[in-house]
A and B are shown apart, each in its own frame.
Chain A
């Protein structure tokens, strides 16, 4: 090679120096930009880095425990459960993300999308629960193992409502459901968040705010995958004190055992307080099934079930009262002076009123009987005659005085008011005048008259307490309040006593209520059997459908302690189907509570 030593390199070196100066200027410019973001915009980026690393997590408060009246039997408590939520903000592409999550959780993409769509109006950073009640061993560990692949998923624990006795008192306790986006926007749930469960029916629904408690809060340091690294602040959740119901566990369990396989309702009240000792409705369901957010199949099954297991027949079932209405008729007629307890009518099995034949349920006829005997044997002809003497509006007045035709206002929502017909009612609803012939049917509890089992129980309690009305309720602490707020009608207690005599005979002197007799417990009762279709219709169609079977009564006769009302749909004669069921409940109550008081003077 030639020696390059004497070559003139001035111009390339000049250019190299120029580049170096340009580099120096560029260094200064970039440094200036760093100065801008690190010094001038420091506050903005500092705040961003703080919110990046901290996360607020809600610690859901366990719901208050529900117990029976003794306080020892827990009817509803909480167990720990795992749920997995998706944070849309942490996904790059939601669809792609759902496709990956689908096999992980074993859920169809369509199902996942549906769950996300339900809450699509919510801010992107809010976690949306996509599956709950995860199994620890399989699902939770599977998701945790693939934590790195799924930064959009978070697993959280939550206390889950648990009903240890499954369907026991299901209708009284109610069930929980996930709050809908509409619920969340309402003022009542403004403090609640997505995926929260809330009581929908029963006690759970009625006392939602009392039971819900106050959620706690956890501020934690997280890494970019949302994994917890440290804890900054913690506010423990507050669980509210347990709530004792008036329900008696043994009575409730027995009532449900007796109803099993049938359709109907049982209501038992504490005669002294109006507290509900038992409230059973069949068919029933397991409220644990609702505690999971996603059980659409089971939900649809329950809603579509022709037997309506979700209906609380004790409150929502409206039935003709039939003969159990007769005590109200008798009290009204006595109070108006239309009859006395010695007034006698003759029953031949059939009688003509307004040129139409009316039948007694006992076709041979009861012959001549007075009021207590008419109640004992539940004679229809006697009460047709009473109905002949009474105006429909008077009947309505006495029915309403005993709480019929209106809600009892027991704690649980959804109660039906029933129906007490009157001239006013007929004019308003049908635009027609009331025909006196219609009164004859109402006199034996048929016609348009409609009642609910809880109304009948409250009516019976009013009779048992010789006119004093107590508000039926389900919270034990309301006992004292209810007694203080008790009301009385103007009907003298002696009048009611005359009817009670008949009810006592019904159970204790081989009357229709004899099936409910309990030795040494002085049961007073009235049974009823109501036609589910009219007699003419049934004869015309040739269908012989069984009647609904009613029983209502109290015990003991003096200083009553318990009211039992039983309704069995299509049970047949009240004395045959309903009375023995009530008898078993009276017996159980007597054995449990009615012990001879210890000898005084010790």
Chain B
């Protein structure tokens, strides 16, 4: 279990930054959804407390133990997701039945990120060569593509795309040769082409096209980006005031409490609010990045870096998406956007980082 040294090594600053950003999220969720039935901010608060408890519970288990379980956990998630896909299509009731099986009725695809992080950390924990070899390259890409495909087909493009920074984080740490980079680029192009032609749904393609010219289709997907830009731009320096944003309160913004929570922030708190939240989020991510060397082993280093890459990717993609710098992919901001599974996943990910850091001084 936990001894005194480990307890002393718990990174309270990281926990503080985690909670700070989660609370900012609840404040924004209140403003964006207080007029809707469902008390979203209270539900998010409840999820926050539950997630915090689960986080502390996971700290009692050594991450090395978790790595040992990781293939089974990973396998289970693939099975559940594939089951949702198969039964969900065959019988409409089956999907909800499988959904009820999954944790808290939330989205199992979110938690699949944790499973992938653990599996990749295990794969690379004993890898000591200077750069990535072919067999490890294929293996790591393979274990990522599998959940990517089953989640992408749900269809949940946002969550599927969020698996990629985990893989790239691992590959970067491992060391990429020029040959591998070229190989990856070619692979991405081929995958992208086949994906565009055979896999992507029309609405997903539309989203990508919309990125190029949001004014072209003002009532379609581009409409959302346009409304979001209007919300943020009209916030000006100081914003329209808390719960006073006309774009969000009058519902011109879509998915205000989830994907477009940043637009509510920009509209109601202005550039100063954006700056402050960017800063607090940057401190949070910086704390993760600076924790990378504070691991006793290779696996821990991979875990911390992959978590940092995942959360950074999601934040940047979202804040770029809502101003039209990135396609609307449905990637929420961890901690800020409403969503229980997303919050829990983020807490579990940060929990892994804490887990690694508190055990760095222990001699095995």
Chain A residues within 8 Å of B, Cβ to Cβ: 1, 3-5, 7, 9, 11-13, 15-17, 19-20, 23-24, 26-27, 30-31, 33-35, 37-39, 41-42, 44-46, 48-50, 52-53, 89-92, 221-225, 229
Contact = CB atoms under 8 A, between A and B. Distances in A.
Given A15-B173, A53-B250, A39 B292 contact: no
Contacts of A44: 233
A92 B220 contact: yes
B196 interface: no
- The 3 tightest CB contacts between A and B, nearest first, are A45-B233, A49-B234, A20-B289
B136 interface: no
Given A7-B298, A223-B251, A41 B219 contact: no
A17 to B, nearest CB: 8
Given A16-B301, A49-B252, A223-B251, 10 more contacts: A3-B364, A4-B298, A9-B293, A12-B174, A12-B301, A20-B290, A20-B308, A31-B275, A53-B250, A224-B227
A231 B247 CA distance: 17
Contacts, number: 142
Given A11-B175, A19-B172, A31-B275, A48 B234 contact: yes
Nearest to A35: B271
Nearest to A11: B175
Interface in B278-294: 278, 282, 285-286, 289-290, 292-293
B270 A38 contact: yes
B95 interface: no
Interface string B15-55: 00000000000000000000000000000000000000000
Contacts of B274: 31, 34, 38
A38 to B, nearest CB: 4
A199 to B, nearest CB: 38
B238 to A, nearest CB: 10
Contacts of B305: 16, 19
A213 to B, nearest CB: 32
B233 A38 contact: yes
B175 A48 contact: no
Nearest to A15: B172
B130 A30 contact: no
B309 interface: yes
B231 A34 contact: no
Given A4-B298, A23-B285, A23-B312, A91 B219 contact: yes
A46 B234 CA distance: 4
Contact of A37 (B220, B229, B297): B229
Interface in B189-230: 219-220, 227, 229-230
B219 A92 contact: yes
A13 B301 CA distance: 9
Interface stretch (B110-118, B177-185, B315-323): B315-323
A27 B250 contact: no
Contacts of A16: 172-173, 289, 292-293, 301, 305
B274 to A, nearest CB: 5
B296 A9 contact: no
A12 B323 contact: no
A223 B248 CA distance: 9
Given A5-B296, A19-B309, A31-B274, A52 B233 contact: no
Contact of B251 (A90, A92, A225): A225
Contact of A38 (B266, B282, B286): B266
B174 to A, nearest CB: 7
B219 A89 contact: yes
Q: Which of B246, B266, B309 has the most CB of A within 10 A?
A: B246
Nearest to B322: A34
B289 to A, nearest CB: 4
Contacts of B267: 49
Nearest to B312: A23
B173 A12 contact: yes
Contact of B252 (A13, A35, A52): A52
A34 B323 contact: yes
B364 A224 contact: no
12 contacts: A3-B364, A7-B128, A12-B298, A30-B319, A37-B229, A37-B233, A38-B274, A48-B233, A49-B267, A52-B230, A52-B246, A52-B252
Contact of B364 (A1, A37, A53, A90): A1
A91 B219 CA distance: 7
Contacts of A41: 233
Interface hub of B229, B292, B325 (most chain A Cβ within 10 A): B292
Contacts of A222: 250
A380 B26 CA distance: 104
B236 interface: yes
Contacts of A12: 173-175, 298, 301
B230 A48 contact: yes
A53 to B, nearest CB: 5
B234 A45 contact: yes
